[in-house]
A and B are shown apart, each in its own frame.
Chain A
Amino acid sequence: MRLSRLSSRCALPRVRIIVLLGLGLHLSSCYVFRKKSTGEGGKAGIVAPVLGVSLGEKAGELNEAALNAVHAVGTAFPPAGVRPDPDTVVRQLLLQYREPGSTVAREIGRVEEYRMLLGGANAMFTISPQETYDATSLLAELKVAKEICGSLVAPQRDQHPGWQTILPAAASDTDSNIRFLAQRLIGLPSTSIDENAISSLKAIHAAAASDGAVGYEAYVPVCATLILDAEALLL
């Protein structure tokens, strides 16, 4: 599935909806939910001053004339799709919404065993992080997505003390919550997200709810589907 408007010309094939529904059912499980908390970075003195003796002059600043000359040198080749780093993707996702601390460390610990399957590097970097996906890394991504989505949209009091759901509305307001999740996890502007995709995400939510998922818990398969969307897999 590609959720952006760019591919909305093609209707979602029925088989794809079935697969998504299946995925939704697969991901259903029991979660306790809490209210939202978010966190964003900000400007700061990023690094403390040099210890010891001075390191001398700083490098230069923006040189607009010279930069314009660089930008005038064109190329016919667009960028390549970039895979989010398999070693840091989980931490980065969590830290968008959660303060660093014990609960984040424990949550990362829960998916650590999948890091190498995701395509992560080993301690010495003799194995480099994978830059593309294969069947193994996609299956591992599915498992990790399920765990992380639980901690984001339907955190459990015993495993995620103090955490609340990141969803902005009551569990019954599926439209707001699904649109929010789609924007945050795919990262595109809401206006670029295809209405057909929103409809199929609602179908996944409904399937999870009818399978017994309660409240925010029914959003876990929606969240996992979004993490596995092509737009999220490659930037």
Chain B
Amino acid sequence: MRLLFASLALAGLTFSLETHAGEDLSTAMRRAKYLLNGAMPTDAEYQTGAVSQDTYHRAVRSYLEDERFYDTLLRYHERVFGVGLPEDYLEELLRSDIDGKQEKFASITCGRFGGSTKRFRCVWSSTLERGASVGCPESWEQPVSVFWYPKLAAWTCPSVVKACGQDLSNCFIRSNNEGEARNSELGTTETFDSRYAVIRSLGRQAAGLATAVAVENYPYTKILEPGLTALDGAIAHFYNQKHHFRIGELNLDPEIVDIVRKTSFTDTRFRLLKTSNYDYASAGVMTTFGWLRRYDKNRTRANELYKRLLCREFTADLPRVFPQDPGNLRVAPGCADCHSVLDPLADFFLAWGEGADLYSGRQSAVNTFFNGKRGSSVAELADIIRDDKAFATCTVQNAWGWLMGRKFYKDEETLRTSLSDYFIGTNYSFRELIYAIATHPAFLQGGRTDGVVTDPLQAPPLGEAPSSPSISCNRTYTYAADIQPRIGLCTGCHSSASTSRQSLTSESQWRTWGDTAVKMMASGQMPPGPSNSAVQALKDAVYCWMEQNP
């Protein structure tokens, strides 16, 4: 910051850091609109929005409903998750041959060959590389509507259409204008290159999933939902390239590939895709290709989720001298402080390979633990994380940092707690969390600090269960009338015959396990599959019954 002041002073562009106590709706509105929509308010918007708190609140609500909120939220999640991929990661998945003959790629190159006024053509890349003509006489070429920009008519030879389909989506596209293709957004321009579009979308997949969950106002706990992924047109196009890439080695649920085949390739925004199977190796953002490949070692995956989803850091006093062979890090002095937590947490990811072996197939389930809870898969790790209030608190911290430009001060613990409780109380509505912060009196203050928080609030504590959303128990609840008729939602798995799951068939068992069941239903972890009003009704009934019969 000091450098900034120095630079501005050199340029003659000094500004005041004086704090203007009190509310400044114009300043707050400018910040809210820019951060949520990426644009500045106009004079007309100020005249209607910065009049009173009510009009300001309406303005913020309109920003959350604006289509540009998707874009700013996507970027927010990219920064929070820190996930992105360089282009060469795509090459790991390239097939070197498709039928035993090397270099037989179904690639086509598209562009306006010979000048911008020429017609847009797509030709076999191999013919261009050989310096041959573009493949067939011009009179044979036929126009097709291409999947990446349907309003464009691309002229191409019959052999290309036959192999690549009427929209060319079955082939990998190269652009003859790579510079422009790198900065082009799918669906906005005729210039398209599969390499850049696909790797950019794969890198953003975790951010896209979380963004779609938040924009569609699903509970934010769904970002860790087993069986949930997100895709846009570029990823759908990629999944369709089995002859070009080793798609099978991505451990995709076959249901995903089936669904992708029936979807549009022109989606420029990520949309959610949920499979019907309960996939134990899947946990929303943590098992997207981008996350697993970017954080390519199990310890790194554990470390990053600890930091980015729970806002906690592994820190310890390092030994003055590192032993050459410390042995088991989980118990070695100087190492155990971190590794006794980090390594068991990393073991949850053993179902996936590391580094370029990511594609080597799944291993068997593990028996490990985190935060005092045992589990055997990434899906169970996701449940442990979602079932801890630290996840909600960390989400609040991240959103607060984005909008306020600073961390919480130590003195703001009550505020952080009340925001976390509100977030949980809205069943993890990220949209309402943003609204709550952007309309908070602190956000409306006209003054600005330099963002250096010298006494920050400590990391969210682990081990606290999210408090149940406020339920009004305004009548008497009984086991026989309110719970027993609904337990069929659970007894399919939690039956008395089950040897691996706790039975939930009797009143006494519900008395013992009801509290845990309420938390798991509240956070969307149980029962597996989509939550619905019947699950919510059972959860509320169990909660009230236990409150009234402690």
Tell me how many residues of A have a C-beta within 8 Å of chain B.
94
Complex A-B, nearest 9 residue pairs according to Cβ-Cβ distance, in ascending order: A187-B40, A56-B530, A80-B451, A230-B15, A56-B531, A59-B429, A19-B12, A80-B405, A60-B426
CA A13 to CA B27, docked complex, whole Å: 25
**What are the interface flags for B465-476 relative to A under an 8 Å C-beta threshold, 1 for contact and 0 otherwise?**
000011000000
Instruction: Report if A228-B11 is in contact (Cβ < 8 Å); known contacts: A82-B31, A123-B203.
Output: yes
Choose the segment among B82-90, B354-362, B509-517 that binds chain A (4+ C-beta atoms closer than 8 Å): B82-90
Which chain B residue has the least Cβ–Cβ distance from A126? Answer: B82
B479 within 8 Å of A (CB atoms): no
CA A42 to CA B220, docked complex, whole Å: 25
Choose the segment among B64-72, B127-135, B330-338, B343-351 that binds chain A (4+ C-beta atoms closer than 8 Å): B64-72
Instruction: Report if A66-B470 is in contact (Cβ < 8 Å); known contacts: A47-B269, A59-B219, A109-B182.
Output: yes
| Contact (Cβ within 8 A) B70 A47 | yes
| Contact (Cβ within 8 A) B436 A70 | yes
Return A4 CB to nearest CB of chain B, in Å. Answer: 9
| Contact (Cβ within 8 A) A71 B440 | yes
Return A118 CB to nearest CB of chain B, in Å. Answer: 13
| Contact (Cβ within 8 A) B418 A134 | no
Q: Which residues of A contact B448 (CB under 8 A)?
A: 78-81, 234
Instruction: Report if A109-B405 is in contact (Cβ < 8 Å); known contacts: A2-B15, A63-B425, A134-B7.
Output: no
Instruction: Report if A79-B41 is in contact (Cβ < 8 Å); known contacts: A46-B67, A63-B425, A100-B189.
Output: no
| Contact (Cβ within 8 A) B531 A57 | yes
Most buried by B among A80, A88, A134: A80
Q: Which residues of A contact B404 (CB under 8 A)?
A: 79-80
| Contact (Cβ within 8 A) B16 A75 | no
B488 within 8 Å of A (CB atoms): no
| Contact (Cβ within 8 A) A48 B451 | no
Choose the segment among A27-35, A170-178, A188-196 that binds chain B (4+ C-beta atoms closer than 8 Å): A188-196
Q: A47-B216, A51-B271, A125-B79 are in contact. List 16 more A-B contacts (CB 8 A).
A: A18-B12, A19-B11, A43-B62, A55-B228, A56-B218, A57-B530, A59-B220, A60-B469, A66-B422, A80-B449, A82-B405, A124-B85, A132-B1, A134-B4, A187-B30, A234-B448
| Contact (Cβ within 8 A) B272 A109 | no
| Contact (Cβ within 8 A) A61 B276 | no
CA A131 to CA B211, docked complex, whole Å: 22
| Contact (Cβ within 8 A) B275 A73 | no
Q: Which residues of A contact B50 (CB under 8 A)?
A: 189
Within 8 A of B (CB), among A38-77: 40-44, 46-63, 66-67, 69-71, 73-77
Number of A-B contacts (CB under 8 A): 325
| Contact (Cβ within 8 A) A79 B442 | yes
**What are the interface flags for A17-30 relative to B under an 8 Å C-beta threshold, 1 for contact and 0 otherwise?**
01110010000000
CA A87 to CA B203, docked complex, whole Å: 15
Which chain B residue has the least Cβ–Cβ distance from A58? Answer: B217
Instruction: Report if A79-B67 is in contact (Cβ < 8 Å); known contacts: A58-B218, A66-B470, A132-B1.
Output: no
| Contact (Cβ within 8 A) A121 B7 | no
Interface size class of B (residues with CB under 8 A): 35 or more
Majority secondary structure, A binding face = loop
Q: Which residues of B contact A42 (CB under 8 A)?
A: 66-67
CA A50 to CA B217, docked complex, whole Å: 12
| Contact (Cβ within 8 A) B189 A75 | no
Return A13 CB to nearest CB of chain B, in Å. Answer: 8
Return A208 CB to nearest CB of chain B, in Å. Answer: 18
Which chain B residue has the least Cβ–Cβ distance from A135? Answer: B7
Choose the segment among B98-106, B406-414, B496-504 that binds chain A (4+ C-beta atoms closer than 8 Å): B406-414
Instruction: Report if A57-B536 is in contact (Cβ < 8 Å); known contacts: A49-B271, A187-B41, A235-B34.
Output: yes
**What are the interface flags for A162-202 relative to B under an 8 Å C-beta threshold, 1 for contact and 0 otherwise?**
00000000000000000000011111111010000000000
Instruction: Report if A105-B191 is in contact (Cβ < 8 Å); known contacts: A60-B426, A84-B34, A131-B451.
Output: yes
B222 within 8 Å of A (CB atoms): yes
| Contact (Cβ within 8 A) B84 A135 | no
Instruction: Report if A7-B16 is in contact (Cβ < 8 Å); known contacts: A41-B66, A47-B216.
Output: yes
| Contact (Cβ within 8 A) A124 B84 | yes
| Contact (Cβ within 8 A) A124 B70 | no
| Contact (Cβ within 8 A) B7 A229 | no
Within 8 A of A (CB), among B290-313: 294
Q: Which residues of A contact B67 (CB under 8 A)?
A: 41-44, 46
